[in-house]
Chain A
């Protein structure tokens, strides 16, 4: 199934390389983050997926995976960008518990979640306004399997994250390269971004968490950067760690992006030092 998504992306790209894209400049699409929104590796940016400007729209299809010692994460997503104004997305996330599964007596245990996202650009333009581009986003998240989250004390299988995102591209800075920065505030009840449900035994209220991403385009179509995503614990059984990554994204053309990242998730559900390589591919059609 996962291979199928990658195959479809490659097939569609091979059919579309000569086709017109939206008119925005290469890179302004961002790439697809772990919840299916336009952004970097771990967090959404204020960008709208794809390259559509006024009176245009396009789709972005993505597949991402991350392997740590004890977990395997994968995500497939589809998003629609319209007018450089609105983004709608749907993502399916899956986390294989290859170490914990046998421990809890469910050898093939998986956490699964669907994320439905909407993001509206409120004001500003990534490149051309002096102030950042600012967007408001929603992510409605729903666990497809609630057995494991309920076992560890999660209160609900559904939740809504709301985030405010500011992103700016700095032409020719620093040192002639084009820098970029994103700062987000997210209101959420999610446990491990929702894969372990929402709310729990030690907290059941919304919290405001900070996310940011900095980096630089070292070429027109190659970006290096890092992400930070703050996390807090609602569940007493294990403390959540902040998440970080360093990433490189390559956009050979406006139809394709590839991202490679080294991700540090810290401790996840009692298992410490979860680090690994993250790979993501997106096609824009």
Chain B
């Protein structure tokens, strides 16, 4: 029993400590194809969100172009592309929207569809999710 427990704890720490601090030349930004890919991704994502049955209403009054540019800057910044993100913090950006856990997963599913659509491979999709998943606590129920 102890062997099993130790193996589990070690695995848990190994995978958690071994997080991806990729250096700049091998940044996720470059791996996914840089700015052109991100532009296509955010354009596709905004379109999908706006017409989604469950999430569309959240973006009813959102300006498509502004939103797409903010997302582009944010993804570029978070993936190590060297952009400046000038938008609001995640909790301020979602203030008053009262987003619940269902809508969050719905968004993630659409985000994955968009990444598939623009040809980001599975492992890089997961690296993207890894960056954005921790923001959930700043987005829910604001």
Separation of A181 and B9 alpha carbons in the complex (Å): 10
A272 at interface by CB-CB < 8 Å: no
| B108 x A25 contact (CB < 8 A) | yes
Distance between B83 CB and nearest chain A CB, rounded to angstroms: 21
A173 at interface by CB-CB < 8 Å: yes
Which residues 216-233 of A have a CB within 8 angstroms of B?
219-220, 228, 230
B130 at interface by CB-CB < 8 Å: yes
B109 at interface by CB-CB < 8 Å: yes
Q: Which of B11-19, B40-48, B58-66, B71-79 contacts A (4 or more CB under 8 A)?
A: B11-19
B95 at interface by CB-CB < 8 Å: no
Separation of A237 and B99 alpha carbons in the complex (Å): 59
Separation of A212 and B9 alpha carbons in the complex (Å): 12
Separation of A55 and B100 alpha carbons in the complex (Å): 11
Q: Interface residues of B toward A: which range? A: 20 to 34
| B133 x A127 contact (CB < 8 A) | yes
Separation of A173 and B109 alpha carbons in the complex (Å): 19
> Is chain A's interface secondary structure helix, strand, loop, or mixed overall?
loop
Distance between B4 CB and nearest chain A CB, rounded to angstroms: 5
Smallest CB gap from A52: residue in B? B102
Separation of A220 and B134 alpha carbons in the complex (Å): 19
B57 at interface by CB-CB < 8 Å: no
Check A176/B102 contact, CB under 8 A, given A181-B8, A183-B8, A210-B1.
no
| A177 x B126 contact (CB < 8 A) | yes
B101 at interface by CB-CB < 8 Å: yes
Distance between A169 CB and nearest chain B CB, rounded to angstroms: 10
A56 at interface by CB-CB < 8 Å: yes
Chain A residue contacts of B133, Cβ below 8 A: 127-128, 171
Chain A residue contacts of B102, Cβ below 8 A: 23, 53-56
Separation of A212 and B100 alpha carbons in the complex (Å): 32
Distance between B101 CB and nearest chain A CB, rounded to angstroms: 5
**Chain B positions 10 through 43: 1 when the CB is less than 8 Å from some CB of chain A, otherwise 0:** 0110011011100000000000000000000000
Distance between A195 CB and nearest chain B CB, rounded to angstroms: 23
B118 at interface by CB-CB < 8 Å: no
| Residues of A bordering B, CB below 8 Å | 23-26, 53-56, 84, 127-128, 130, 132, 168, 170-179, 181, 183, 208-210, 212, 214, 219-220, 228, 230
